[in-house]
Chain A
Amino acid sequence: MAEEFEPRIVAFLCKWCSSAGSDLAGVSRMEYPPNVIPIQVMCSGSVSPLYILSAFKKGADGVLVSGCHPGDCHYIKGNFYARRRIALVKGQLEFIGLEPERFQMSWVSAAEGLKYTEIIKDFVNTLKPLGPQTKLRRNP
């Protein structure tokens, strides 16, 4: 039997909320798929489009950007900037023909460990039928 495809997800988690949320999921022993590679960033607003494109280029099957809920940003308005920028990047990636499911954004607070695990579970489940991401990958 062929091995099932396991997608690789790169998650950019903001230090103050989403990263703490994923920590909470960890310390609470909640179960979720091990397909995600978390990268802690200081703010979702600091995620440059280049990070996202670079992740896809280096073979990520999906990219998640996660930050604090609007109004909860540690830097007051970083996630508002992120919201705008990510909307543009998402539009652009869809425009050149990447599957829109491969790039997601979420708001996860430090108390929402459960929501984090659900997001990852859903993300993995949507990526599995799509197969490996070869479009933007450097050496497919």
Chain B
Amino acid sequence: MVKLEDLKKEATQILKSGKVKYIIGYAKGADGFMPIPTFISDPEDVENLTWNPACVHNLTKFIVDEKKRLKKDKNPDNRPIGIIVKGCDSRAINVLLQEKYIDRDDVYLLGVSCEKTGVVDEKKLAKTLKGQRVVQIDFEDNGNFLVTTESGSEKIPAEDVLAERCIECKANFPVVFDIVFGEKIKRQVDKPFQSVETIEDLSQEDRWKFWKEQLDKCIRCYACRSVCPMCYCDECVVDTISFAVEPDTSAEEKAQKIKWIEKSPNLSENIVYHLTRAMHLAGRCIDCGECERVCPLDIPIRFLNKKMEKDAKNFFDYEVGFDPDQPSLVSSFKDEDPEDFIR
């Protein structure tokens, strides 16, 4: 079990010694049991830190934001940032290191182990509790969660309320860290791609029916893009604002500006957007599931990324986020890559 006191002690110490400029962690939210990301620079505020199964967020996104901010800063504070990372988040750090987006010295990683469980799925929890208001949720031994509701507390087996991605998780222990809390327990994952396979097993027409229904819903709010730690391009392919229209921009130039993806949220454009996003995340997505969590229309975006991960594993024996020194998926090749689909 992760001892919160140890975490707080370490956090206080690194803040007091000036080793880090601030710590990104989880704090109790204003409403309900869901924690919120918090930035702590004053050692006295360390008391706010919390760690429980509802800490679903991938905080590495804030590292990316900070990196962008530092580029514009005239007197940048280049001390490392302390950040609390779960197993999946630490893989995101590894990908950022692999892409040389951050240096290892930019971050001080406070790893936390999910041990035998993981984080909860809010919707599953609400369903299990049949609408009772959750006040607090905690880790319990033997793979259970201790859920405190307004009417009392009960033990719930973690598998019942675990987020889908945690059931298929390959890194329940941080793969890169400076200091780690909790035990290293290897959890057995029998079917790492089960969710994708359930869709693959459908007939082609049913698959199309499923995705047509799902992607037709998309309103193109780009929440999935905003929350993704890997979507850090300064210019995104879907943004036409990146094309600066100045007083001397001719009508011809405006007309010839290629728009790969229109802004209008119709099915065809949505498919191109989501497939392009999945392709851009090929070999980079570490399956933190944030895109799916923030989606206001509950589109299972994760499946598209998971399919990429599966293909990368099956075709090219490529696993994301375990080795920061490996070449990236689409900028490397092997002689024995499959080519049975090519004439």
- Among the listed B207, B271, B311, which residue makes an inter-chain contact with A88, where contact means beta carbons less than 8 Å apart? B311
Please indicate the chain A residues that have their CB under 8 angstroms from the CB of B308 in the complex: 88, 91-92
Q: Please tell me which stretch of B79-87, B93-101, B150-158, B330-338 contacts chain A, meaning at least 4 of its Cβ atoms lie within 8 angstroms of it.
A: B330-338
CB-contact partner of A53 in B204, B272, B315, under 8 A: B272
Which A102-117 residues have a C-beta within 8 angstroms of B?
104-107
Contact of A119 with B by CB under 8 A: yes
Q: Does B222 contact A (CB under 8 A)?
A: no
**Is B304's CB under 8 angstroms from A92's CB?**
yes
Measured CB to CB, the nearest residue on chain A to B202 is A97
- Contact (Cβ within 8 A) A49 B208: no
Interface segment among B173-181, B184-192, B275-283: the answer is B275-283
Contact A105 B276 (CB under 8 A): no
Stretch at the interface among A7-15, A29-37, A77-85: A77-85
Q: If the complex has contacts A95-B199, A95-B304, are A57 and B268 also in contact, measured as CB distance less than 8 A? A: yes
Is B39's beta carbon under 8 Å from chain A?
A: no
Judged by DSSP, the binding face of A is helix
Give Cα distance in the complex from A140 to B307, angstroms: 27
Find chain A residues with CB under 8 A from B337 CB.
80, 83-84, 87
CB pair B341–A105 under 8 Å, yes or no, is: yes
Q: Which residues of B contact A91 (CB under 8 A)?
A: 307-308, 311, 315
What is the bound-complex CA distance between A136 and B338, given in angstroms?
27
What does the 1/0 interface line of B190-222 toward A look like (CB < 8 Å)? 000000000110001111111110010000000
Those of B219-254 within 8 Å (CB) of chain A: 237
Mark interface residues in A100-140 (1 if CB within 8 Å of B CB, else 0). 00001111000000000001000000000000000111100
Give CA–CA (A106, B204) in the complex, Å: 24
> Measured between alpha carbons, how far is A59 from B212 in the docked complex, in Å?
17
B271 touches A96 (CB 8 A): yes
In this complex, how many residues of chain A approach chain B with their Cβ under 8 Å: the count is 35
Cross-interface CB contact of B343 among A80, A84, A94, A105, cutoff 8 Å:
A105
Is B73 positioned at the interface, with any CB of A under 8 Å from its CB?
A: no
- Contact between A138 and B333 (Cβ–Cβ < 8 Å)? no
> Is A54's beta carbon under 8 Å from chain B?
yes
* Least distance between B242 CB and chain A CB atoms (Å): 15
Max chain A Cβ within 10 angstroms of own Cβ: one of B211, B271, B307, B342: B342
Asked whether, in the complex, the Cβ of B237 is within 8 Å of the Cβ of A84, the reply is: no
Report the 3 A-B pairs with minimum CB-CB distance, sorted nearest first. Answer: A97-B208, A97-B207, A80-B333
Other than A77-B333, A88-B311, A97-B205, give 16 A-B pairs with Cβ distance below 8 A: A49-B275, A50-B237, A57-B269, A80-B333, A81-B330, A83-B333, A84-B316, A87-B311, A87-B315, A87-B337, A87-B341, A89-B275, A92-B275, A93-B275, A97-B204, A106-B343
